[in-house]
Every structure is written in C-alpha cells, then in structure tokens.
C-alpha cells in the first residue's frame, strides 16, 4: 500500500508541475526516457532473478502451477475484449494492449506512451493502478466467492510483490509460491508482450 | 518507434541472470531502491505530460472511466477463469491443508 501511495504521489506532483508550465518535457519523444525504460526492465529482471524463495520451491513444484499465469493471461484478455465492447471510442487492440499490463502500471504505461501516445499510456496507468488497488481491497472477497486462486488472478503481475501480503492472507500461506510464480512470469511477460502485440497489430 | 524489442529482451534476460547470481547477496536491496527511484521519475514525467497537455487533462475523467471499464473486464475475466481452474485442478476436497502444488 505504501509503494502504491508513493507512485500516486509521483504522478500527482508531475501533473501539478505540468500544469504550472514551470518545466517542459516531451515524454513520447525522449531518448532519456527510452534508456530509463531499459534500465527499469533490467532492474525488474534483477528483482525477479534474485527472488530466491521461488527458485527453491520451483524444483519440486507440479507442472500445474503454469496453469495459473496462463489463466490470468487468457482470463484478462477475454474479459478486457468483452468489456471493451461498451467503449466504442477505444479499439479492441488498444484495450488488449492496456490489459497486457496485468496490473504492472508503471512499466506498462511508460512503454505504451512511448509506443502509442500519451492518452493510451494514461489509460494503461489508471487501469492497471486500479487493478492493483482493487486487489489490495477485495482479495478476501475474491477468495471467498471465487476460490483461492482468485486473488492471485486479480493481482496479475503484482502478485509477486505489492499485493502478495493480502493474497497470502486471503488464499492461505500454502499459496505463497503459486502467487510468487504467477506474478514473476507475468512481470517478465509485460515488457515482452506489449511491444510484441503492438507490432503484430501494426500500431 | 521507440523501445526496441531486442533491447527489451537483452535488458530483461541480463537482469534476471544477474539477479539470480546475486540472489544471496545483501546488495540486492540497492536494486530495489533504484527500481523505486526510476519508477518515481517516470511517473512524475508521465504526470507532467498530462499536466502540460490541456486536452488530455480536461479529458482525465473520461480517460479514467475507460480505464475503470478495462480494469473491471480484466479482473472479471481472470477471476472467473481462475474459479474454473481452481475447481478443476487445485481444490482439495478432502482437506484444506497442505501444499496446492
């Protein structure tokens, strides 16, 4: 929750600075931001690679653990495509691009801003931030109604860090490794799937 | 188009490998702090972009509504499918204890 507030604060202070016309900056055209994104992706890799808990458990884990991130990917895309039909001003492709953030709002929004533009980048930021916040708030409810995988599914990529504590509380400690694994796979896929999907669909 | 796929793959795989190699070192905490720092800078710049762009700022409520619909879709889809997968593969009818995997 603390890190979520921290990033919301960064975004808000940024909006105020922009409104004040005190500084000017072209995010979509910036080379510096491009390099920062690579550095962030590198650090995301370090975070995943240095998570020793999951590497220890992964050796004796059943193959069905792979079903969990797959469930999140297919479920998210199906739901996003379904719900995007009530948004005529947003194409299905754009909606899927946002969905592929899997809750990882910082990385997905910056990549999408660089590849598509500011508006879709902001939609990605807000949509994925709301996904994280909704998981933090409703994980126990999801677990009670939809079973113990549901908080992990809702958390998406954030299941490995920011939403892990509430997931463990709602799904039970025996689901810790499942949550870590699913979150790690999805985290690694965010910076791969978004540019890949946008290239394939010709953005 | 900025952000090249090749550089993404190189950054991600080299990061994961280095992270794995240093996983037992105390130094890995520094990387977490650096990550937070970069996220702060990038989100600050993203916020600035919104503040500078008058039409985008005015449209923020509409943009937020679109985002909310996509969030609900993503959560609804993944949580519903997880319900099916949980029933089929994970739920243990005999007990609520023990490792699920």
Judge whether residue A88 has pLDDT over 70. yes
- CB contacts, 8 Å: B60 with chain A: 122
pLDDT band at A74 (very low <50, low <70, confident <90, very high): very high
pLDDT of residue A101: 98
Give the residue with greater pLDDT, B52 vs B65: B65
What pLDDT, on a 0 to 100 scale, did the predictor assign at position A165?
92
d(CA B18, CA B87): 38
- Is the pLDDT at A75 greater than 90, yes or no? yes
Residues of A in contact with B83 (CB under 8 A): 146-147, 149-150
- pLDDT confidence of residue A203: 67
Q: Which residue of chain B comes nearest to A89, CA vs CA?
A: B66
Residue in chain B nearest A112 by alpha carbon:
B3
Question: For residue B2, what pLDDT is reported?
Answer: 67
In which band, very low, low, confident or very high, does the pLDDT at B90 lie, cut at 50, 70 and 90?
confident
- CB neighbour class for A56 (10 Å; exposed up to 12, middle 13-18, buried from 19): exposed
What is the structure's pLDDT at B86? 95
CB A67 within 8 A of CB A144: no
CA angle A71, A48, A129 (to 5 degrees): 60
**Complex ipTM:** 0.90
* DSSP designation for A91: -
At residue B23, the pLDDT reads 83
Round the average pLDDT of chain B to a whole number and report it: 86
Whole-number Å distance between alpha carbons of A95 and A82 = 10
Q: How confident is the model at residue A79 (pLDDT cuts 50, 70, 90)?
A: very high
Predicted local confidence at residue A30, as pLDDT: 74
**What is the full DSSP assignment across A1-57?**
-HHHHHHHHHHHHHHHHHHTTSS---STT-HHHHHHHHHHHHHHHHHHHT-HHHHHH
Position A106 scores a pLDDT of 92
Predicted confidence (pLDDT) per residue in A24-68, tens digit: 777 666 788 889 999 999 999 998 888 877 777 766 667 889 999
Cα of A114 vs its chain's centroid, Å: 17
d(CA A156, CA A187): 8
| Dist CA A132 CA B100 (whole Å) | 24
Of B11, B49, B77, the CB nearest to A82: B77
Range B6-12 average pLDDT: 92
Decide if B73 and A83 are in contact by the 8 Å CB cutoff: yes
Give the pTM.
0.89
- Give CA–CA dist A171/A150, Å, rounded: 8
> Do B82 and A71 count as a contact with CB atoms less than 8 A apart?
yes
- Measured between beta carbons, the chain B residues lying within 8 angstroms of A119 are 56, 59, 63
Position A60 scores a pLDDT of 63
- Minimal Cβ distance to B78: which of A71, A87, A125: A71
Q: For an interface test with B, which of A122, A133, A140, A198 has the most B Cβ atoms less than 10 Å from its Cβ?
A: A122
Q: The tokens of A28 are what?
A: 């979509």
In angstroms, the CA B39 to CA A158 distance is 15
The C-alpha atoms of residue A17 and residue A8 are separated, in whole angstroms, by 14
CB contact under 8 A, A152 and B82: yes
pLDDT in tens, B45-63: 989 888 888 888 899 999 9
Q: Specify the residue for token string 């999801």.
A: A142
How much is the average pLDDT of A166-181?
A: 93
Least confident of A43-52, A72-81, A135-144, B19-28: B19-28
Q: Is the pLDDT of residue B98 over 60?
A: no
pLDDT for B93 equals 60
How far apart CA B49 and CA B32 sit, in angstroms, is: 26
User: Which 3 state secondary structure label does DSSP give B59?
Assistant: coil
Contacts for B33 with CB less than 8 Å, ≥ 6 apart: none
Please give the Cα distance from B17 to A155 (Å, whole number). Answer: 25
Q: Please, what is the average pLDDT of chain A?
A: 90
Q: Is B41 on the interface with A (CB under 8 A)?
A: yes
């Amino acid at each position: 929750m603390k890190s979520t507030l921290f990033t919301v604060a960064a975004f808000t202070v940024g909006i105020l600075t922009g409104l004040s016309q005190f500084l000017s900056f072209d995010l979509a055209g910036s080379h510096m931001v491009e390099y920062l994104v690579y550095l962030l992706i590198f650090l995301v890799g370090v975070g995943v690679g240095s998570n020793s808990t999951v590497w220890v458990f992964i050796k004796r884990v059943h193959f069905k653990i792979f079903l969990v991130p797959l469930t999140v990917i297919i479920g998210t895309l199906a739901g996003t495509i379904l719900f995007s039909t009530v948004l005529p001003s947003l194409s299905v492709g754009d909606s899927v691009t946002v969905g592929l953030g899997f809750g990882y709002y910082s990385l997905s929004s910056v990549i999408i801003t660089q590849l598509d533009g500011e508006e879709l980048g902001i939609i990605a930021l807000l949509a994925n931030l709301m996904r994280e916040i909704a998981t933090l708030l409703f994980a126990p409810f999801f677990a009670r109604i939809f079973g113990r995988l549901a908080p992990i599914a809702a958390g998406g990529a954030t299941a490995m860090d920011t939403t892990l504590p509430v997931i463990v509380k709602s799904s039970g400690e025996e689901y810790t490794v499942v949550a870590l694994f699913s979150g790690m796979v999805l985290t690694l896929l965010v910076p791969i799937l978004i540019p890949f999907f946008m290239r394939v669909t010709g953005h | 188009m900025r952000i090249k796929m090749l550089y993404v793959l190189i950054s991600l795989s080299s990061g994961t490998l280095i992270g794995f190699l240093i996983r037992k070192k105390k130094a890995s905490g520094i990387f977490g702090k650096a990550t937070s720092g970069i996220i702060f800078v990038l989100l600050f710049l993203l916020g600035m972009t919104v503040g500078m762009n008058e039409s985008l700022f005015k449209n923020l409520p509409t943009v937020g509504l679109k985002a909310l619909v996509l969030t609900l879709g993503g959560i609804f889809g993944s949580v519903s499918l997880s319900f099916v997968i949980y029933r089929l593969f994970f739920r243990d009818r005999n007990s609520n204890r023990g490792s699920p995997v």
